[in-house]
Amino acid sequence: MANNIFLQISVIMGITVSIAFIMRMLRQPLVVAYIVAGLVAGPLFLNLVDGGKGFFETFAQFGIVLLLFIVGLSLNFKYIKHLGKSVVFGEVIRFLVTVSLGIILMKVMHFGLISSLFISVAISFSSTIIVVKLLSEKRDLETLYGRYSEGLLLLQDIIAVIILIFLNTSHLNNYTWYQNLLITGSKGVFLVGLVFLMAKFLLPSIMDRIARSSELMFIFTIAWCFGVASLVCWAGFNIEIGAIIAGISLGTSPYQPEISSRIRPLRDFFIVLFFIVLGSELKFADVDLVLVPAIVLSFFVIIADPLILYFVMRKMKYTRRSAVLAGVTAAQVSEFGFILVFKGQELGYLKGPELALLTLIALITIFISSYFITYN
Protein backbone atom coordinates (compact mmCIF):
# COMPACT_ATOMS: atom_id res chain seq x y z
CA MET A 1 0.00 0.00 0.00
CA ALA A 2 2.79 2.43 1.00
CA ASN A 3 4.74 1.69 -2.17
CA ASN A 4 1.59 2.16 -4.25
CA ILE A 5 0.89 5.59 -2.72
CA PHE A 6 4.53 6.60 -3.13
CA LEU A 7 4.34 5.63 -6.82
CA GLN A 8 1.09 7.61 -7.19
CA ILE A 9 2.66 10.73 -5.65
CA SER A 10 5.73 10.37 -7.90
CA VAL A 11 3.61 10.10 -11.05
CA ILE A 12 1.30 12.96 -9.96
CA MET A 13 4.28 15.21 -9.18
CA GLY A 14 5.74 14.41 -12.61
CA ILE A 15 2.43 15.34 -14.26
CA THR A 16 2.23 18.52 -12.16
CA VAL A 17 5.75 19.67 -13.07
CA SER A 18 5.10 19.04 -16.78
CA ILE A 19 1.88 21.05 -16.73
CA ALA A 20 3.54 23.75 -14.60
CA PHE A 21 6.18 24.29 -17.32
CA ILE A 22 3.41 24.85 -19.87
CA MET A 23 1.56 27.25 -17.56
CA ARG A 24 4.73 29.27 -16.95
CA MET A 25 5.18 29.61 -20.71
CA LEU A 26 1.59 30.91 -20.85
CA ARG A 27 2.41 33.30 -17.93
CA GLN A 28 -0.19 31.63 -15.73
CA PRO A 29 -0.13 31.23 -11.92
CA LEU A 30 0.95 27.73 -10.92
CA VAL A 31 -2.37 27.22 -9.10
CA VAL A 32 -3.90 26.61 -12.54
CA ALA A 33 -1.29 23.89 -13.18
CA TYR A 34 -2.12 22.20 -9.87
CA ILE A 35 -5.86 22.08 -10.61
CA VAL A 36 -5.27 20.85 -14.18
CA ALA A 37 -2.91 18.17 -12.79
CA GLY A 38 -5.72 17.09 -10.48
CA LEU A 39 -8.06 16.87 -13.48
CA VAL A 40 -5.56 14.69 -15.35
CA ALA A 41 -4.83 12.49 -12.30
CA GLY A 42 -8.51 12.25 -11.33
CA PRO A 43 -11.47 10.21 -12.64
CA LEU A 44 -11.73 12.34 -15.79
CA PHE A 45 -8.47 10.84 -17.18
CA LEU A 46 -5.89 8.66 -15.37
CA ASN A 47 -7.76 8.06 -12.06
CA LEU A 48 -4.52 7.98 -10.03
CA VAL A 49 -5.79 9.73 -6.90
CA ASP A 50 -8.70 7.41 -6.13
CA GLY A 51 -6.62 4.54 -4.69
CA GLY A 52 -5.09 6.70 -1.94
CA LYS A 53 -7.97 9.13 -1.54
CA GLY A 54 -7.84 9.31 2.26
CA PHE A 55 -4.08 9.82 2.23
CA PHE A 56 -4.23 12.67 -0.29
CA GLU A 57 -7.14 14.33 1.53
CA THR A 58 -5.17 14.24 4.80
CA PHE A 59 -2.25 15.97 3.09
CA ALA A 60 -4.68 18.49 1.58
CA GLN A 61 -5.94 19.22 5.11
CA PHE A 62 -2.35 19.99 6.16
CA GLY A 63 -2.21 22.46 3.27
CA ILE A 64 -5.36 24.22 4.45
CA VAL A 65 -4.05 24.43 8.04
CA LEU A 66 -0.70 25.89 6.93
CA LEU A 67 -2.39 28.29 4.51
CA LEU A 68 -4.66 29.64 7.24
CA PHE A 69 -1.75 29.77 9.70
CA ILE A 70 0.11 32.09 7.30
CA VAL A 71 -3.10 34.12 6.80
CA GLY A 72 -3.18 34.55 10.59
CA LEU A 73 0.48 35.57 10.61
CA SER A 74 -0.28 38.24 8.00
CA LEU A 75 -3.38 39.74 9.66
CA ASN A 76 -2.01 43.16 10.49
CA PHE A 77 -4.77 45.04 12.32
CA LYS A 78 -2.64 48.20 12.54
CA TYR A 79 -2.53 48.20 8.73
CA ILE A 80 -6.36 48.03 8.61
CA LYS A 81 -6.55 50.98 10.99
CA HIS A 82 -4.18 52.86 8.68
CA LEU A 83 -6.48 52.17 5.71
CA GLY A 84 -9.27 54.12 7.38
CA LYS A 85 -12.98 53.60 7.96
CA SER A 86 -13.95 54.53 4.42
CA VAL A 87 -11.92 51.67 2.93
CA VAL A 88 -13.35 49.16 5.43
CA PHE A 89 -16.86 50.43 4.75
CA GLY A 90 -16.22 50.30 1.00
CA GLU A 91 -15.08 46.66 1.15
CA VAL A 92 -18.14 45.66 3.21
CA ILE A 93 -20.40 47.35 0.63
CA ARG A 94 -18.56 45.64 -2.25
CA PHE A 95 -18.87 42.25 -0.52
CA LEU A 96 -22.60 42.63 0.17
CA VAL A 97 -23.38 43.86 -3.36
CA THR A 98 -21.36 41.04 -4.96
CA VAL A 99 -23.03 38.37 -2.82
CA SER A 100 -26.52 39.79 -3.42
CA LEU A 101 -26.08 39.94 -7.20
CA GLY A 102 -24.53 36.46 -7.21
CA ILE A 103 -27.50 35.00 -5.33
CA ILE A 104 -29.96 36.63 -7.76
CA LEU A 105 -27.99 35.32 -10.75
CA MET A 106 -27.83 31.79 -9.36
CA LYS A 107 -31.53 31.78 -8.47
CA VAL A 108 -32.28 32.77 -12.08
CA MET A 109 -30.30 29.64 -13.10
CA HIS A 110 -32.52 27.55 -10.74
CA PHE A 111 -30.02 26.83 -7.96
CA GLY A 112 -31.25 26.36 -4.38
CA LEU A 113 -30.92 29.17 -1.84
CA ILE A 114 -28.18 27.48 0.25
CA SER A 115 -26.11 26.61 -2.83
CA SER A 116 -26.58 30.13 -4.18
CA LEU A 117 -25.49 31.66 -0.86
CA PHE A 118 -22.35 29.52 -0.52
CA ILE A 119 -21.19 29.97 -4.12
CA SER A 120 -21.97 33.71 -4.11
CA VAL A 121 -19.92 34.19 -0.96
CA ALA A 122 -17.11 32.00 -2.36
CA ILE A 123 -16.80 33.99 -5.60
CA SER A 124 -16.83 37.31 -3.72
CA PHE A 125 -13.27 36.68 -2.42
CA SER A 126 -10.17 37.35 -4.51
CA SER A 127 -7.06 35.19 -4.26
CA THR A 128 -4.45 36.64 -1.91
CA ILE A 129 -1.78 34.21 -3.18
CA ILE A 130 -2.29 35.05 -6.86
CA VAL A 131 -2.81 38.82 -6.57
CA VAL A 132 0.12 39.45 -4.20
CA LYS A 133 2.43 37.24 -6.30
CA LEU A 134 1.53 38.93 -9.60
CA LEU A 135 1.73 42.45 -8.14
CA SER A 136 5.08 41.72 -6.50
CA GLU A 137 6.45 40.38 -9.82
CA LYS A 138 5.37 43.68 -11.42
CA ARG A 139 6.76 45.62 -8.42
CA ASP A 140 3.35 47.25 -7.99
CA LEU A 141 2.72 46.31 -4.35
CA GLU A 142 3.95 49.71 -3.15
CA THR A 143 1.84 51.70 -5.62
CA LEU A 144 -1.39 53.35 -4.49
CA TYR A 145 -3.62 50.73 -6.09
CA GLY A 146 -1.28 47.93 -4.91
CA ARG A 147 -1.53 49.02 -1.27
CA TYR A 148 -5.29 49.41 -1.61
CA SER A 149 -5.62 45.93 -3.16
CA GLU A 150 -3.48 44.41 -0.42
CA GLY A 151 -5.66 46.10 2.21
CA LEU A 152 -8.84 44.77 0.55
CA LEU A 153 -7.40 41.24 0.49
CA LEU A 154 -6.63 41.54 4.19
CA LEU A 155 -10.20 42.66 4.90
CA GLN A 156 -11.54 39.78 2.80
CA ASP A 157 -9.47 37.34 4.86
CA ILE A 158 -11.05 38.73 8.04
CA ILE A 159 -14.57 38.43 6.57
CA ALA A 160 -13.81 34.82 5.57
CA VAL A 161 -12.58 34.03 9.09
CA ILE A 162 -15.79 35.47 10.59
CA ILE A 163 -17.88 33.33 8.21
CA LEU A 164 -15.91 30.20 9.18
CA ILE A 165 -16.57 30.95 12.86
CA PHE A 166 -20.27 31.47 12.13
CA LEU A 167 -20.48 28.13 10.26
CA ASN A 168 -18.88 26.36 13.20
CA THR A 169 -21.29 28.07 15.63
CA SER A 170 -24.40 27.26 13.61
CA HIS A 171 -23.75 23.52 13.60
CA LEU A 172 -23.82 22.84 17.35
CA ASN A 173 -26.62 20.41 18.17
CA ASN A 174 -29.40 20.33 20.79
CA TYR A 175 -29.34 24.08 21.46
CA THR A 176 -31.09 27.15 20.16
CA TRP A 177 -29.06 29.58 18.06
CA TYR A 178 -28.49 32.03 20.93
CA GLN A 179 -27.42 29.19 23.26
CA ASN A 180 -25.00 28.05 20.53
CA LEU A 181 -23.70 31.60 20.26
CA LEU A 182 -23.28 31.92 24.04
CA ILE A 183 -21.53 28.54 24.41
CA THR A 184 -19.25 29.10 21.43
CA GLY A 185 -18.56 32.69 22.46
CA SER A 186 -17.57 31.63 26.00
CA LYS A 187 -15.27 28.90 24.71
CA GLY A 188 -13.86 31.27 22.11
CA VAL A 189 -13.09 34.02 24.64
CA PHE A 190 -11.40 31.52 26.97
CA LEU A 191 -9.29 29.94 24.21
CA VAL A 192 -8.30 33.22 22.58
CA GLY A 193 -7.46 34.66 26.00
CA LEU A 194 -5.35 31.61 26.88
CA VAL A 195 -3.46 31.63 23.56
CA PHE A 196 -2.79 35.37 23.66
CA LEU A 197 -1.67 35.32 27.30
CA MET A 198 0.83 32.66 26.26
CA ALA A 199 1.79 34.76 23.23
CA LYS A 200 2.32 37.86 25.39
CA PHE A 201 4.12 36.42 28.42
CA LEU A 202 5.52 33.01 27.42
CA LEU A 203 6.32 33.12 23.70
CA PRO A 204 8.70 36.15 23.68
CA SER A 205 11.22 34.51 26.01
CA ILE A 206 10.92 31.17 24.19
CA MET A 207 11.29 32.78 20.76
CA ASP A 208 14.37 34.72 21.85
CA ARG A 209 16.03 31.45 22.83
CA ILE A 210 15.04 29.33 19.83
CA ALA A 211 15.72 32.13 17.29
CA ARG A 212 19.43 31.30 17.62
CA SER A 213 18.75 28.16 15.59
CA SER A 214 16.73 28.54 12.39
CA GLU A 215 16.03 24.79 12.33
CA LEU A 216 14.68 24.85 15.90
CA MET A 217 12.51 27.88 15.07
CA PHE A 218 11.03 26.02 12.11
CA ILE A 219 10.19 22.94 14.20
CA PHE A 220 8.77 25.05 17.04
CA THR A 221 6.57 27.03 14.63
CA ILE A 222 5.10 23.84 13.14
CA ALA A 223 4.53 22.43 16.64
CA TRP A 224 2.86 25.67 17.77
CA CYS A 225 0.61 25.76 14.69
CA PHE A 226 -0.58 22.15 15.00
CA GLY A 227 -0.71 22.28 18.81
CA VAL A 228 -2.94 25.37 18.99
CA ALA A 229 -5.09 24.11 16.08
CA SER A 230 -5.58 20.76 17.88
CA LEU A 231 -6.41 22.51 21.17
CA VAL A 232 -9.04 24.64 19.46
CA CYS A 233 -10.42 21.59 17.64
CA TRP A 234 -10.61 19.66 20.94
CA ALA A 235 -12.64 22.54 22.41
CA GLY A 236 -15.30 22.07 19.71
CA PHE A 237 -14.23 24.53 17.01
CA ASN A 238 -12.97 23.50 13.59
CA ILE A 239 -9.27 23.07 13.02
CA GLU A 240 -9.16 25.91 10.48
CA ILE A 241 -10.07 28.45 13.17
CA GLY A 242 -7.32 27.02 15.37
CA ALA A 243 -4.76 27.50 12.59
CA ILE A 244 -5.76 31.16 12.19
CA ILE A 245 -5.57 31.78 15.96
CA ALA A 246 -2.12 30.14 16.04
CA GLY A 247 -0.97 32.44 13.25
CA ILE A 248 -2.39 35.62 14.80
CA SER A 249 -0.70 34.82 18.12
CA LEU A 250 2.71 34.78 16.38
CA GLY A 251 1.89 37.70 14.09
CA THR A 252 3.11 40.31 16.58
CA SER A 253 6.45 38.56 17.10
CA PRO A 254 9.55 40.39 15.80
CA TYR A 255 10.43 37.08 14.12
CA GLN A 256 7.19 37.04 12.09
CA PRO A 257 8.87 37.68 8.68
CA GLU A 258 11.38 34.87 9.24
CA ILE A 259 8.65 32.47 10.44
CA SER A 260 6.48 33.26 7.43
CA SER A 261 9.31 32.81 4.91
CA ARG A 262 10.32 29.44 6.39
CA ILE A 263 6.77 28.05 6.52
CA ARG A 264 5.83 29.07 2.96
CA PRO A 265 7.74 26.31 1.09
CA LEU A 266 6.12 23.63 3.27
CA ARG A 267 2.71 25.27 2.78
CA ASP A 268 3.26 25.39 -0.98
CA PHE A 269 3.94 21.65 -1.15
CA PHE A 270 0.76 20.74 0.73
CA ILE A 271 -1.26 23.36 -1.19
CA VAL A 272 -0.17 21.60 -4.39
CA LEU A 273 -1.79 18.41 -3.07
CA PHE A 274 -4.86 20.40 -1.95
CA PHE A 275 -5.48 21.72 -5.47
CA ILE A 276 -4.67 18.32 -7.02
CA VAL A 277 -7.33 16.72 -4.79
CA LEU A 278 -9.63 19.57 -5.75
CA GLY A 279 -9.13 18.94 -9.47
CA SER A 280 -9.55 15.20 -8.97
CA GLU A 281 -13.04 15.76 -7.55
CA LEU A 282 -14.37 16.71 -10.99
CA LYS A 283 -16.39 14.04 -12.81
CA PHE A 284 -17.82 14.02 -16.32
CA ALA A 285 -21.40 14.16 -15.04
CA ASP A 286 -20.64 17.17 -12.82
CA VAL A 287 -18.83 19.05 -15.60
CA ASP A 288 -21.72 18.51 -18.00
CA LEU A 289 -24.17 19.71 -15.34
CA VAL A 290 -22.38 22.93 -14.32
CA LEU A 291 -20.54 23.99 -17.48
CA VAL A 292 -23.03 26.69 -18.55
CA PRO A 293 -23.52 28.12 -14.99
CA ALA A 294 -19.71 28.14 -14.59
CA ILE A 295 -19.26 30.21 -17.75
CA VAL A 296 -22.02 32.64 -16.73
CA LEU A 297 -20.65 33.08 -13.20
CA SER A 298 -17.09 33.42 -14.54
CA PHE A 299 -18.17 36.37 -16.67
CA PHE A 300 -19.87 37.79 -13.58
CA VAL A 301 -16.60 37.54 -11.61
CA ILE A 302 -14.47 38.90 -14.47
CA ILE A 303 -16.77 41.82 -15.36
CA ALA A 304 -19.11 42.63 -12.46
CA ASP A 305 -16.62 42.27 -9.59
CA PRO A 306 -14.11 44.78 -11.04
CA LEU A 307 -16.94 47.19 -11.93
CA ILE A 308 -18.39 47.05 -8.40
CA LEU A 309 -14.94 47.71 -6.90
CA TYR A 310 -14.34 50.50 -9.44
CA PHE A 311 -17.53 52.37 -8.45
CA VAL A 312 -16.82 51.87 -4.73
CA MET A 313 -13.33 53.34 -5.14
CA ARG A 314 -14.60 56.25 -7.24
CA LYS A 315 -17.10 57.07 -4.49
CA MET A 316 -14.13 57.23 -2.11
CA LYS A 317 -12.45 59.81 -4.41
CA TYR A 318 -9.75 57.55 -5.84
CA THR A 319 -8.57 58.37 -9.36
CA ARG A 320 -9.99 56.49 -12.33
CA ARG A 321 -6.63 54.84 -12.99
CA SER A 322 -6.25 53.51 -9.42
CA ALA A 323 -9.89 52.38 -9.40
CA VAL A 324 -9.49 50.48 -12.69
CA LEU A 325 -6.19 48.82 -11.72
CA ALA A 326 -7.48 47.77 -8.29
CA GLY A 327 -10.73 46.54 -9.84
CA VAL A 328 -8.82 44.26 -12.22
CA THR A 329 -7.23 42.44 -9.25
CA ALA A 330 -10.70 41.31 -8.09
CA ALA A 331 -11.45 39.30 -11.24
CA GLN A 332 -10.73 35.78 -9.90
CA VAL A 333 -11.88 33.50 -7.07
CA SER A 334 -9.93 32.75 -3.91
CA GLU A 335 -8.58 29.64 -2.21
CA PHE A 336 -10.80 30.73 0.71
CA GLY A 337 -13.84 30.05 -1.47
CA PHE A 338 -12.83 26.39 -1.73
CA ILE A 339 -12.33 26.15 2.03
CA LEU A 340 -15.86 27.52 2.58
CA VAL A 341 -17.39 25.08 0.07
CA PHE A 342 -15.46 22.16 1.61
CA LYS A 343 -16.75 23.22 5.03
CA GLY A 344 -20.32 23.47 3.65
CA GLN A 345 -20.03 19.90 2.35
CA GLU A 346 -18.54 18.68 5.62
CA LEU A 347 -21.41 20.20 7.62
CA GLY A 348 -24.05 18.81 5.25
CA TYR A 349 -25.25 22.12 3.80
CA LEU A 350 -24.03 21.30 0.28
CA LYS A 351 -24.75 17.97 -1.42
CA GLY A 352 -24.74 18.89 -5.12
CA PRO A 353 -22.08 19.75 -7.72
CA GLU A 354 -21.09 23.05 -6.03
CA LEU A 355 -17.41 22.08 -5.75
CA ALA A 356 -17.24 21.21 -9.46
CA LEU A 357 -18.93 24.53 -10.27
CA LEU A 358 -16.43 26.54 -8.20
CA THR A 359 -13.48 24.61 -9.64
CA LEU A 360 -14.48 25.44 -13.22
CA ILE A 361 -15.07 29.10 -12.25
CA ALA A 362 -11.59 29.17 -10.66
CA LEU A 363 -9.91 27.74 -13.77
CA ILE A 364 -11.61 30.24 -16.08
CA THR A 365 -11.23 33.34 -13.91
CA ILE A 366 -7.65 32.72 -12.74
CA PHE A 367 -6.55 32.01 -16.33
CA ILE A 368 -8.08 35.23 -17.69
CA SER A 369 -7.47 37.56 -14.73
CA SER A 370 -3.74 36.75 -14.59
CA TYR A 371 -3.35 38.40 -18.02
CA PHE A 372 -5.50 41.35 -16.88
CA ILE A 373 -3.31 41.93 -13.82
CA THR A 374 -0.02 41.38 -15.67
CA TYR A 375 -0.78 43.63 -18.63
CA ASN A 376 -3.64 45.75 -17.15
Number of domains observed in the structure of the chain: 1
Q: What is the CATH number of the domain that holds 215?
A: 1.20.1530.20
Residue 64 belongs to some domain of the structure: no
Residue 19 belongs to some domain of the structure: no
Contacts 24+ apart (CB under 8 A), 221-229: 221/250, 221/259, 221/262, 221/263, 222/263, 222/266, 224/249, 224/250, 225/65, 225/66, 225/69, 225/263, 226/65, 228/195, 229/65, 229/69
Residue 328 belongs to some domain of the structure: yes
Residue 171 belongs to some domain of the structure: yes
List, for the chain, all residue ranges whose pLDDT scores fall below the cut of 70.
1-3, 49-53, 76-84, 86, 168-181, 183-185, 188, 236, 283-285
Residue-wise pLDDT for 3-31, tens only, equals: 677 787 888 888 889 988 998 888 888 88
pTM listed for this prediction = 0.82
Confidence at residue 83, expressed as pLDDT on a 0 to 100 scale? 67
Whether the CB-CB separation of 278 and 38 falls below 8 Å is answered with: yes
Could you list the residue range(s) of the whole structural domain that residue 102 is in?
76-270+290-375
Q: Any residues with CB less than 8 A from the CB of 72 and at least 6 apart, and which?
A: 243, 244, 245, 246, 247, 248, 249, 250, 251
Whether the CB-CB separation of 372 and 298 falls below 8 Å is answered with: no
In whole angstroms, how large is the CA radius of gyration of the chain?
Answer: 21
Of 366, 301, 372, 274, which Cα lies nearest the Cα of 23?
366
Residue 43 belongs to some domain of the structure: no
Residue 215: left (phi > 0), alpha (psi -120 to 50), or beta?
Answer: alpha
